Structure 1
């Protein structure tokens, strides 16, 4: 189903393709069939050190360190053009390796990556400092925004290519060098992107890619030559990275887990809310950190909403991501599938919750039918813990004044949604909910120009927009005596 005969499996270090110093490999699977696609190297500490040292040399080199901003912009635009020209192959490879339907990879993930490259190419020539009037005589004061150095970009398995580019584009636009470590489950589009980086004309060592599991990531985070760590993944791992980078006084950006509430007020258009929440909750089979997972619905409309949500979920077609007509692909691994099914069982067995009817899954692959649980209460595990799969919990409410407190009754604060015909009510709720992004009457869209990140345990810092320029630079003050 995915005859990828031209797969890149070697790592890129200092412009060379290498198979690693340890000889160990990691298989990567097609989650739609369970079959091994190929194997990639397990980078050891020596490989990580070589990549960081190559990035450090490139950062100091005149070829990169002295490159004009306009030329950095041109290199990013060349990379965007190359990715766009190869978009179909990238989308198919992403679907084969990650499982998401081809409509998601080709219609959302790859175009979003291209957009980010072009957006940050535009910023490369527009990064400015300020002049400041000081209360010191005969002094001119100005600031410069300067790159940080070697940045470790550690990316997740749910949108491997897209989230890699979210970090890569601003890191390069600001003049940093990088070592990328993709998730061990989904390394293939990152390695293919590394081929395009070379073709786009970036100097050797500016972009390096190492593959491996948690040990590889840990070695990268702990390397003293790394100035910044940008990580997207679980809150648990994010806490470990924050602790280590805090000890080492490195820059860090973390985009972590979510448990997004979606508030459906009594006056909301229920049919529109159902449709938007199906998209928001089941995109990529719920493997989205901002997925809508807790639906707070006025008690008078709870049953109607839950029944329509369950019917809509049941009508979605499960299948291999490369099969035409597939609405929902598999989960990324057998391990993750089993974890999500355990949560469904926990929710089913909670006193007072109702699991709406689900048909059995046929065939191979790591498939999970969407599970809609209604009558859920705030203290149930399915309402408190991040599941990262197609499990949708519907919670009734009677008192609108309790909504914000209930929506915020979680450690997470990445995204939230509000559905209401009353724009004043919607905006009051949006202003009060503790989340990095709130969508009103819409599914969770993203754009390169819109700042993105979480509050509370959902992360530190922001990506996208000007926020990412700030995240990959630091400010230097320059004082000049004029006397």
Structure 2
């Protein structure tokens, strides 16, 4: 099935069934429908979902934190409390790791046939599909992303990811290796053990799927920490895993904070593998803690400052729409956001005017309201940080084309903001803002833009817009990034690997490459007596 575009699927008249046909793939390359106003703030809609689980999941049971502590998770539309969630710390991590270790060493999960494991993963995916709308409502309520995005794209993609990994479970095997001499040599691909996983708040369930799916398919057990800002959807879907028949202790869920629960997972001597998605600075801490404990292997998917290069022969309307989606998608809270848009000087003015017009039409409002393209930022910390970067851009001399301020009197809404005449040394061109702030830079030659695009400590993704195949080939090989999109952007698929160069991380997630993160390779050598052949 070819990767589909959203322009035809996210129209106001589109049905839920047609939207959910994106279960295998999703792409935000063409964006959501355009609307006549960029402000749609009203009284928040009451989400049609009940909060049933706010506790830790340890050894197949939802339990309070050992300390009895809880913390509030907030509605980013208002800043008000949604629920109080159990606050796990070191003692809870110890309990969870002990349960995961027992489930791995003694329990049925790694000893099950791969086919039996795949059946449980398939059953879970069926339950997730059945409860799609409730899960999406929790995701929107806790995170602020548009409900249409969550219900019609993201949760179906989570379901697709688990079906993808369910299909892999009984296809993981080693090789027979020829040797110089009378020996039979084979390799065994074995689960690595207890996997510690830490997921971020911008795509809570997608990152859950990227990590839990391959780890379980390979036969591992898991201790996963949710982001403190967005614990609710993971708690809900982990309950579905128990309904699907996942044995106790195989998946353990800890809600809590990085310096306590997160650090305890990273430092634990009985955790065999770490996977982390988040900021580069926190990734450094994760790597340091792992190295100081048992040298456990670490997969890191970190930050980015991804360039988009719009060449003089590009389809400008296509480039404008894709660059808009690449930056403003998910309120700009995306690690691979196209946050440095380089435009050739001959088409620069046209691009800027169209980019400004597109931003002014972007609908900001309650994410549960139909047609809203942009909800609130995740919390007050991010809200203030983004506004400070906007002030920095103005003060450093960039031209503010649109936006530049907050929206409404409550919640964490920010206007879609576009800067032109941005220079490479400005903070808005160097730092990962993680918000709806588009920076448009001018270039003259291909060699120049390659040098400038690569002059970043990050290397997660890049976009190229050109009609010339030779230009496209030159740029795809010259750019130092883990994913290059040509005449599109943010096209994902369960089978497409994702990860970064440089300080954007180590390793790859999704696809066949993700399986190696959760497997050990063992060589077995047996002498052959009087072999008929070698």
- TM-score tier (shorter): over 0.9
| Partner residue, 1:16 | 61
**Aligned residue among 356, 363, 367 for 2:413:** 367
In the aligned structure 1, how far is the partner of 2:57 from the partner of 2:72? 18
| Contact 1:7/1:188, CA 8 A, preserved across alignment | no
In the aligned structure 2, how far is the partner of 1:481 from the partner of 1:447? 44
| Partner residue, 1:178 | 222
| Partner residue, 1:163 | 207
| Partner residue, 2:32 | none
Structure 1 gaps, min length 5: none
Instruction: Find the residue that maps to 1:63 and give its secondary structure.
Output: coil
| Partner residue, 2:150 | 105
Query: CA offsets, 1:350-402, max 9 Å, x none?
Result: 13x10113276124210111111101111111111100111110000112221
Instruction: Find the residue that maps to 1:117 and give its secondary structure.
Output: helix
Query: CA offsets, 1:310-369, max 9 Å, x none?
Result: 110111110111111111011000110000000000011113x10113276124210111
Q: Which runs of structure 2 are paired with 1:64-79 in the superposition (5 Å)?
A: 64-79=109-124
In the aligned structure 1, how far is the partner of 2:133 from the partner of 2:348? 42
| Partner residue, 2:179 | 134
Q: Does 1:455 align with 2:516?
A: no
Instruction: Find the residue that maps to 1:292 and give its secondary structure.
Output: coil
Identify if the C-alpha distance between structure 1 residues 146 and 159 changes in structure 2 by more than 3 Å, giving closer, same or farther.
Answer: same
Instruction: Find the residue that maps to 1:328 and give its secondary structure.
Output: coil
Query: CA offsets, 1:49-93, max 9 Å, x none?
Result: 000000000001242121000000000000100000000001111
How much has 1:3 moved relative to structure 2?
5.0
Report the TM-score when normalising by structure 1.
0.98
Instruction: Find the residue that maps to 2:100 and give its secondary structure.
Output: helix
**Aligned residue among 325, 341, 345 for 2:371:** 325
Report the TM-score when normalising by structure 2.
0.89
Q: Does 1:310 align with 2:356?
A: yes
| Partner residue, 1:272 | 318
Q: Which runs of structure 2 are paired with 1:70-469 in the superposition (5 Å)?
A: 70-135=115-180, 137-214=181-258, 215-247=260-292, 248-351=294-397, 353-358=398-403, 361-469=407-515
In the aligned structure 1, how far is the partner of 2:147 from the partner of 2:489? 19
Mean CA deviation greater in 198-207 or 32-41: 32-41
Instruction: Find the residue that maps to 2:365 and give its secondary structure.
Output: coil
In the aligned structure 2, how far is the partner of 1:62 from the partner of 1:204? 9
How much has 1:26 moved relative to structure 2?
1.3
| Contact 2:418/2:439, CA 8 A, preserved across alignment | yes
Identify if the C-alpha distance between structure 1 residues 122 and 3 changes in structure 2 by more than 3 Å, giving closer, same or farther.
Answer: closer
| Partner residue, 2:20 | none
In the aligned structure 2, how far is the partner of 1:32 from the partner of 1:360? 13
How much has 1:244 moved relative to structure 2?
2.0
In the aligned structure 2, how far is the partner of 1:71 from the partner of 1:390? 45
Instruction: Find the residue that maps to 2:367 and give its secondary structure.
Output: coil
How much has 1:459 moved relative to structure 2?
0.2
Mean CA deviation greater in 421-430 or 434-443: 421-430
Instruction: Find the residue that maps to 1:425 and give its secondary structure.
Output: helix
Query: CA offsets, 1:283-309, max 9 Å, x none?
Result: 101000001110100112212211211
- State the number of aligned residues: 481
| Partner residue, 2:79 | 34
How much has 1:184 moved relative to structure 2?
0.2
| Contact 2:402/2:419, CA 8 A, preserved across alignment | no
In the aligned structure 2, how far is the partner of 1:346 from the partner of 1:374? 14
Structure 2 gaps, min length 5: 1-45, 530-534
In the aligned structure 1, how far is the partner of 2:106 from the partner of 2:120? 17
| Partner residue, 2:31 | none
Query: CA offsets, 1:423-469, max 9 Å, x none?
Result: 22112101110000000001211111011100000000011111111
In the aligned structure 2, how far is the partner of 1:127 from the partner of 1:81? 23
| Contact 2:406/2:413, CA 8 A, preserved across alignment | no
